[in-house]
Structure 1
Amino acid sequence: MDVLVIGATGFVGGAVARHLAGHGHRVTGMARSAAAAERLRGQGVTPLLGDLDGGREPVLAAAACSDAVVFAAQPAPHDEERMVAELLDVLAGTATTFVFTSGSGVLLQRTEGAWSEDSYAEDDPFPVEPLAERRFAVENAVRAAAPGLRTIVLRPGLIWGPDDHGHVSMIYRSVATTGAACYVGEGLNTYSHVHVDDVCDLAERALATGTAGAVYHAAAGETPNRWIARSVAADLDRPTRSLDLAEAAEVWGEFGALIMSASSRTRAPRSRRELGWAPRHTDLLTTIGEPRLRALATAH
């Protein structure tokens, strides 16, 4: 299969591009610079110079010649809306598969560190997080393009793995700022999480047999932030500390404080039932003690 990956130099898109190339697909990846293009070439991915701002034409032309397009970039909302709309227009009426990588942030709940009993499967209704309304609208536009076009939405939870920037790394960074491994409020809020390798597996399965117009979740486990903080504290021989939202904003910034204080719990029955997806990595805490994470606790 000829696959174009938009976002191939990022954490998730790069992993997807490498995974697909390693499984025999012919993968082209968007790169914004010659240096990025050279890195992709070294990973077995054919580079395509372009971007989502002024360099969209080469990307749209490549999309029209591909068997499948995976959108795994994380641009500003207006760039995402424009590029996805143009891709759907270019691909309309073709046999191309279009996979849009979203995230469980669309159903995030502002619990201020408290646990939420709410957990959502793929087709459950949910109140949309106000900051994610535009992302949810893009999801709906992608799904609405089916059945004329085979479109699929992937909605992973918190993605972890090598070089991630998720909750574990954020709690390690809090040690550098405060001397303690921090969480917000009770620290019982949790995101359903998934390893990046299992996201790649889900993406390949969706390309192969996914249903047009479907949403597929990727969720493999849950670990409350307080548990993460306790594990980080034990690794570094430091205390834990609860923060209120104002203190959290000083440590992680306003958006980071929102993320670290919220819950976003999902289930993936459709992914498991329809695609046979079975995640292999389920314990987020296996990353505790990695040198790259420990280094964050002393960064200035």
Structure 2
Amino acid sequence: MRVFVTGATGWVGSAVVRELIAHGHKVVGLSRSEEKAAGLAADGAEVLLGMVGDLDLIRKGASEADAVIHTAFNHDFSRFAANAAEDRVAIETMGSVLKGSDRPIVVTSGLGLLAPGRIATEDMPAPPVSDRWPRASEAAAEALAADGVRGAAVRLPPSVHGEGDHGFIPILINLAREKGEAAYIGDGLNRWCGVHRDDAARCYRLVLETGVTAHAYHPIDDEEGVPFRRIAETIGKGLGVPVVSKTPEEAADYFTWFGMFAGMDMPASSALTRERIGWAPTGPGFIEDIGGDYYYR
């Protein structure tokens, strides 16, 4: 297949590009900088230089592809609502040129607010778009599916880990380093799950190769939910700092804007994904990996 990948130089997208090329697919990758485009080309991809907000450009990329994988998203949470709106328009724009064909679009979503206090499964509907959670990636894909486009979402866990990670775990590590202690909220029993970056990339490929037959997929490693306290303990050990519990009031000062995520309960199952597309994780598990030396250099 000729696959158009947005976010092709990002943490997840670059791994998806390499995974697709390694298995014989042709990739056209969207890159917002010439410097990153050089690395993309070195991986064997064709480069489309520009931003995801350039609607004519992404329309062209989608129109000339057999499939679209959308991993781009601006994670500046100070303007989360605006970024979510831009993301929705991008998905709608690319999807508009896929109507009337059998060409699929696979978008990227997350597990936040999907099933608080329960283990999220692939058959659960996406949470409604709201002021608290404005990201509408999955809602946009569902609207396209209702209009005859083969659309689906890969729901990534809060940690897509591996060497070079610059996501949520490094944020927690930097906070612990700055504050001199690794923290959790209350009893720390709210759960996070994770997946190794390469395992996540393989999931995207298998979703395409098996025909995009479901509305959502979960690349989650063998632990459906790790208590946040255990994450803090791993970070504390890695940095050699104390591990402490924070009250909600203390947590607001310690975590600041990140407190919403630190307090989320986000366990998830990947049982249906494994059954439907034959996916299984092969990389290191969540706690094993974030305990690695490279996270603390």
Q: TM-score, normalising length from structure 1? A: 0.86
Alignment partner of 1:201 is 2:202: yes
Report if the CA contact (8 A) 2:112-2:264 is conserved. no
Extract unaligned runs of 5+ from structure 2: 75-82
- Could you list the per-position Cα deviations for residues 126-168 of structure 1 after superposition, in whole angstroms to 9, with x for gaps in the alignment? 7658456543x44133134237222221112122122223453
- Corresponding residue for residue 187 of structure 1: 188
Taking structure 1 as reference, are residues 70 and 32 closer, same or farther at Cα in structure 2, changes over 3 Å only? Answer: same
**CA separation in 2, counterparts of 1:235 and 1:214?**
38
Task: Kindly indicate whether the alpha-carbon contact (under 8 Å) linking 1:181 and 1:240 is maintained by their aligned counterparts in 2.
Answer: yes
Partner of 1:226: 229
Whole-Å Cα distance in 1 between the matches of residues 126 and 215 of structure 2? Answer: 16
1:61-140 correspondence to structure 2 within 5 Å: 61-75=60-74, 76-107=83-114, 109=116, 116=117, 118-125=118-125, 128=128, 130-131=130-131, 133-135=133-135, 137-140=136-139
User: Percent same amino acid among aligned pairs?
Assistant: 32
What CA distance in whole angstroms lies between the structure 1 residues aligned with 2:226 and 2:62? 38
List aligned pairs for 1:137-176, cutoff 5 A: 137-146=136-145, 148-158=148-158, 159-176=160-177
Is the contact between residue 210 and residue 274 of structure 1 (CA under 8 Å) also seen in structure 2? no
Counterparts of 1:132 and 1:215 in 2: how far apart (Å)? Answer: 22
**How far off is 1:204 after superposition?**
0.7
1:266 pairs with 2:268? yes
Tell whether the 8 Å contact from 1:185 to 1:242 is kept in structure 2 after alignment.
Answer: yes
Question: Which residue number in structure 1 is paired with residue 80 of structure 2?
Answer: none
Please give the alpha-carbon distance, in whole angstroms, between the structure 2 residues aligned to 1:144 and 1:4: 20
| In 1: Cα distance, 2:144 partner to 2:92 partner | 10
1:83-103 deviation per Cα after TM superposition (whole angstroms, max 9, x unaligned)? 111111121112322111111
Instruction: Using the TM superposition, give the Cα deviation of residue 271 of structure 1 relative to its aligned residue in structure 2, in angstroms.
Output: 0.8
- Tell me if structure 1 keeps the 8 A contact 2:6–2:69: yes
> 8 Å contact 1:146–1:213 — kept in the other structure?
no
1:238, distance to aligned residue in structure 2 (A): 2.0
Partner of 1:294: 296
Q: Distance in 1 between matches of 2:134 and 2:197?
A: 24
Gap runs ≥5 in structure 1 = 110-115, 296-300
Q: What residue in structure 2 maps to residue 280 of structure 1?
A: 282
3-state SS of 1:91 partner: coil
Letter in 2 for 1:209: T
Asked if 1:18 corresponds to 2:25, the answer is no
